[in-house]
Chains A and B, each alone.
Chain A
Amino acid sequence: MSAGNSTTVHSGVGAAPGRASGKAYVIRDAEDIMAVPAGCILVLRILHPHLAPLLPRVAGLVVEEGAILQHATTLARECGIPAAVGIRDARNLFQDADLLEVDGYTGKVTETHLH
Chain B
Amino acid sequence: MLDEDKQVGNMAEAAARAAQPYRRHIVGLPLQRSLFGQAARAATTIGLPGLTSELDFPARLDENGDLFLDGSQVATLSKALPAWFTPETLELMHTRHAAACDALVNASENAARGAASLDRAARELSQDLADKMALVLAYGVLSKFVPDVLLRALADAGDVEPPPFPETSAGAELMQDMFALYQDCRALDYTPQRLQREWPRVSPQVFQLVAEFCNRQSGFGPLAWDSPGHEDPDYVVRLLHSAFDSLDAEQVRRRFSFANRPALARSSTGVSTEVTALRRVLGFWLDFLEWETWYVRRAFYVGMIPLLRQLAAGYRHEMPAFQVADLLFLDIRELVAGIADPAVIHTRRHRYMENSDYLSFHGIDPGRLATILEGS
A interface residue numbers (CB < 8 A to B): 16-18, 29-31, 33-36, 38, 47-57, 67-71, 73-75, 77-80
Q: Which residues of A contact B247 (CB under 8 A)?
A: 38, 56-57
Quick one: closest B residue to A55, CB to CB? Answer: B175
Q: Which residues of B contact A16 (CB under 8 A)?
A: 260
Q: Contact: B175 with A52, CB < 8 Å? A: yes
Q: Determine the distance from Cα of A4 to Cα of B34 in the docked complex, in whole angstroms.
A: 56
Q: Which residues of A contact B163 (CB under 8 A)?
A: 68-69
Q: Which residues of A contact B255 (CB under 8 A)?
A: 56, 79-80
Selected contact of B148 from candidates A50, A69, A74, A75, CB within 8 Å: A69
Q: Contact: A71 with B289, CB < 8 Å? A: yes
Q: Which residues of A contact B238 (CB under 8 A)?
A: 34
Q: Contact: A54 with B243, CB < 8 Å? A: yes
Shortest distance between the CB of A103 and any CB in chain B (Å): 15
Q: Contact: A49 with B260, CB < 8 Å? A: no
Q: Which residues of B contact A35 (CB under 8 A)?
A: 242
Shortest distance between the CB of B202 and any CB in chain A (Å): 19
Q: Contact: A52 with B172, CB < 8 Å? A: yes
Binary interface profile of B, 241-262, with partner A (CB < 8 Å = 1, else 0)?
1111011000010011011111
Q: Determine the distance from Cα of A88 to Cα of B222 in the docked complex, in whole angstroms.
A: 21
Binary interface profile of B, 43-80, with partner A (CB < 8 Å = 1, else 0)?
00000000000000000000000000000000000000
Within 8 A of A (CB), among B167-191: 168-172, 174-175, 178-179
Shortest distance between the CB of B126 and any CB in chain A (Å): 25
Shortest distance between the CB of B179 and any CB in chain A (Å): 7
Q: Determine the distance from Cα of A31 to Cα of B242 in the docked complex, in whole angstroms.
A: 11
Q: Contact: A49 with B243, CB < 8 Å? A: no
Quick one: closest A residue to B229, CB to CB? Answer: A50
Q: Contact: A77 with B256, CB < 8 Å? A: no
Shortest distance between the CB of B164 and any CB in chain A (Å): 10
Shortest distance between the CB of A105 and any CB in chain B (Å): 12
Q: Determine the distance from Cα of A57 to Cα of B175 in the docked complex, in whole angstroms.
A: 12
Binary interface profile of B, 136-147, with partner A (CB < 8 Å = 1, else 0)?
000000000001
How many interface residues does B have (CB within 8 Å)? 50
Q: Would you mind naming 14 contact pairs between A and B with Cβ atoms under 8 Å apart?
A: A17-B260, A30-B222, A34-B242, A36-B242, A49-B293, A50-B230, A52-B174, A53-B179, A56-B179, A56-B252, A57-B247, A68-B163, A75-B171, A79-B175
Beyond contacts A16-B260, A49-B174, A54-B243: 17 other A-B pairs, Cβ-Cβ < 8 A, are: A38-B246, A48-B222, A48-B293, A50-B220, A52-B175, A56-B244, A56-B247, A56-B256, A57-B243, A67-B147, A67-B148, A69-B163, A71-B290, A74-B166, A79-B175, A79-B256, A79-B259
Q: A50-B221, A78-B172 are in contact. Are A33 and B290 (CB under 8 A)?
A: no
Q: Contact: A49 with B294, CB < 8 Å? A: yes
Residue picked from A35, A50, A52, A54, most chain B C-beta under 10 Å: A50
Q: Determine the distance from Cα of A53 to Cα of B170 in the docked complex, in whole angstroms.
A: 11
Dominant SS among interface residues on chain B: helix
Q: Which residues of B contact A57 (CB under 8 A)?
A: 243-244, 247
Q: Contact: A74 with B222, CB < 8 Å? A: no
Q: Does any Cβ of A come within 8 Å of B165's Cβ?
A: yes
Q: Which residues of A contact B290 (CB under 8 A)?
A: 49, 71, 74
Q: Which residues of A contact B84 (CB under 8 A)?
A: none
Q: Does any Cβ of A come within 8 Å of B211's Cβ?
A: no
Q: Which residues of B contact A74 (CB under 8 A)?
A: 165-166, 169, 171, 262, 286, 289-290
Q: Does any Cβ of A come within 8 Å of B306's Cβ?
A: no
Shortest distance between the CB of B171 and any CB in chain A (Å): 3
Q: Which residues of B contact A53 (CB under 8 A)?
A: 174-175, 178-179, 239-240, 243-244
Quick one: closest A residue to B361, CB to CB? Answer: A29
Quick one: closest A residue to B285, CB to CB? Answer: A69
Q: Which residues of B contact A38 (CB under 8 A)?
A: 246-247
Q: Determine the distance from Cα of A53 to Cα of B228 in the docked complex, in whole angstroms.
A: 15
Q: Determine the distance from Cα of A102 to Cα of B271 in the docked complex, in whole angstroms.
A: 36
Q: Determine the distance from Cα of A11 to Cα of B261 in the docked complex, in whole angstroms.
A: 25
Q: Which residues of B contact A52 (CB under 8 A)?
A: 169, 171-172, 174-175
Within 8 A of A (CB), among B278-299: 285-286, 289-291, 293-294
Selected contact of A49 from candidates B169, B227, B241, CB within 8 Å: B169
Q: Determine the distance from Cα of A51 to Cα of B325 in the docked complex, in whole angstroms.
A: 27
Shortest distance between the CB of B36 and any CB in chain A (Å): 18
Shortest distance between the CB of A90 and any CB in chain B (Å): 15
Q: Determine the distance from Cα of A56 to Cα of B258 in the docked complex, in whole angstroms.
A: 13
Q: Which residues of B contact A69 (CB under 8 A)?
A: 147-148, 151, 163, 285-286, 289
